[in-house]
Amino acid sequence: MHTNVFGTNVLCDVARQVGVQKFLHISTDEVYGTIDVGSFRETDVLTPRSPYSAAKAGSDLIALSYVTTYGLPVVVTRCSNNYGPYQFPEKVIPLFTINLLDGKKVPLYGDGGNVRDWIHVEDHNRAAHLVLTKGVVGQVYNIGAHHELTNRELTYKLLELTGRDESFIQPVDDRLGHDRRYSVDISKITALGWSLERSFEQSLLETVEWYRDNRRWWEPLKAKAGA
């Protein structure tokens, strides 16, 4: 499950009561904090630097504590940034895509140098299912694509795919507590039998085309958010 600290407690208690065979807790690479070089392994110390990532780290620890205390069969995944169809417009790829499709500017934080690893949601889902079925209880598994881009590089790719130029970039103040780079070591999940199937360039193109073709899905969401 993917939830907050309080929700994790409730779900773990319910899972105990109904006797689930496996409890999958889906987390994020943000719990590790920022890293300048290299990649975080599952055994590295968690150093979250924002209230959101701290809450996610707390959820991880709560879920794992149920293994020791109650014998609940918990496994945890920590994934890098997802993209794909049906992603809500507040996330960077859909937000930038629909803004550009509508001829609006895109807000680029700071110098645009923050680095993120991008994985298609289908690749993530396959990895999560593999952990659910074959992962060792009490273990954590990183999931990532090792396709790192700066936010500026990602923005230029979206400009190209929507036929816009750099005049559509609107620099904005950097976000508070904005981690510079996330990166996770994925040797453990690959050893379990998982590998990437989706090409980033092709999948990003397909994602942009999906938003271009599915205005009736995202326009009401954008209007509701007042964007």
Report the chain's mean pLDDT, rounded to a whole number.
95
Please confirm, yes or no, whether 66 is among the known catalytic residues: no
Give per-residue pLDDT as tens, 18-32. Answer: 999 999 999 999 999
Query: What torsion, rounded to 10 degrees, do the Cα atoms 122, 125, 127, 133 define?
Result: -140
E strand or H helix at 4, and its extent? none
Please confirm, yes or no, whether 165 is among the known catalytic residues: no
Q: Where does the pLDDT of residue 1 fall: very low under 50, low under 70, confident under 90, or very high at 90 and above?
A: very low
Q: What is the DSSP letter of 121?
A: H
- Give me the residues paired with residue 99 across strands: none
Query: For residue 163, is pLDDT > 60?
Result: yes
* Domain 5-225 grouped into CATH 3.40.50.720: yes
Which residue of the set 29, 42, 117, 123 is catalytic?
A: 29
- Give me the residues paired with residue 61 across strands: none
Q: What is the DSSP letter of 40?
A: B
- Give me the residues paired with residue 134 across strands: none
- Average pLDDT, integer, range 111-138: 98
| Lowest-confidence segment of 1-5, 69-73, 88-92, 102-106 by average pLDDT | 1-5
Which residue of the set 52, 109, 156, 174 is catalytic?
A: 52
- Measured CA to CA in angstroms, residue 90 lies from 77, 87, 95, 107 at distances of 23, 8, 6, 12
Residue spans of the domains in the chain: they are: 5-225
Closest Cα partner for 107 from 94, 92, 86?
Answer: 92
Please confirm, yes or no, whether 117 is among the known catalytic residues: no
